[in-house]
Amino acid sequence: MMQLHNQEKKQFKKLFKQEHIDDFEDRFKVLEVFLQAERHMTDKDLIQLLEEYGYKSDPDFVRDTLRMMCQFGFAQTNQFDNGVVWYEHRHLGQHHDHMICTKCRKIIEFKEDQLENLQVQVAAVHGFHMLQHKMEIYGICSECLKKREQLISLVTAKQGERLVIKEFIGGSASQMRLLSMGLRIGDEIEVVTNFNKGQLVIALDYNRLALGRGLAQKILVQPSNN
């Protein structure tokens, strides 16, 4: 990794001086800290990291340097489902995909040659010449799964989860309402949407059901094994 970083620094110096970019030394410090981190980070993360290393940089200057780093191919951006812009080191000639934990927001990089080859084959079947692609898998990481209680309220479930209804809590009126909607203990459901406010939508036997958050809180579920 050290050899790769040294190579990147040499190319950075060559390109930025060739293009007569101003404040080169300060921009080079931004690159050095960015490469040393070798992880996904926001502009705020990088600004904080620079301060920890003793570099006092104007936030707009750091953002402008990141923009240039993306322009010249030293960094690239990703926007996952929450819309936040993440920066990562762009390794030339290498590709990887991402798994994103919807609970703690951890980003895990992975590369699977079989998947890469399959995507090329699928594109070829459709007469399509693939130039680039990205895969994002959303779920819950192993650490968050360990911390999670066996039974959870439906209102806290994440979009895309498949769950089994284990229990109804609350008064008889709410239980009767749930039963009248066609929900039963043992039903397997999928969370279609849950934006942490307003109604959430679940799927049961290819039917969509909209639930208020108060009612969803009265449904206890656990992850499905299917």
> What CATH code is carried by the domain that includes residue 196?
2.30.30.90
Q: How confident is the model at residue 204 (pLDDT cuts 50, 70, 90)?
A: very high
184-197 in b/e form (b: 16+ CB < 10 A) is eeebebbbeebeee
Torsion of Cα atoms, 184 then 188 then 194 then 200, to 10°: -30
Same domain, 15 and 77: yes
Same domain, 85 and 25: yes
Domain of residue 84: give its range: 2-89
Residue 90 has φ and ψ, to the nearest 5°, of: -95, 110
Q: Would you state the pLDDT for residue 48? A: 94
Same domain, 104 and 79: no
What's the mean pLDDT when you consider all of the chain?
Answer: 89
CA angle 96, 51, 37 (to 5 degrees): 20
Number of domains in the chain: 3
Q: For residue 59, how far is the Cα from the chain centroid?
A: 24
Same domain, 46 and 121: no
Same domain, 159 and 119: no
pLDDT at 213 over 90: yes
Same domain, 21 and 77: yes
Instruction: State the binding site for Zn(2+).
Output: 101, 104, 141, 144
Q: How confident is the model at residue 6 (pLDDT cuts 50, 70, 90)?
A: confident
Instruction: State the binding site for Fe cation.
Output: 95, 97, 116, 133
Same domain, 174 and 194: yes
Instruction: State the binding site.
Output: 95, 97, 101, 104, 116, 133, 141, 144
Task: Select from 145, 162, 184 the last residue of a domain.
Answer: 145
Same domain, 10 and 84: yes
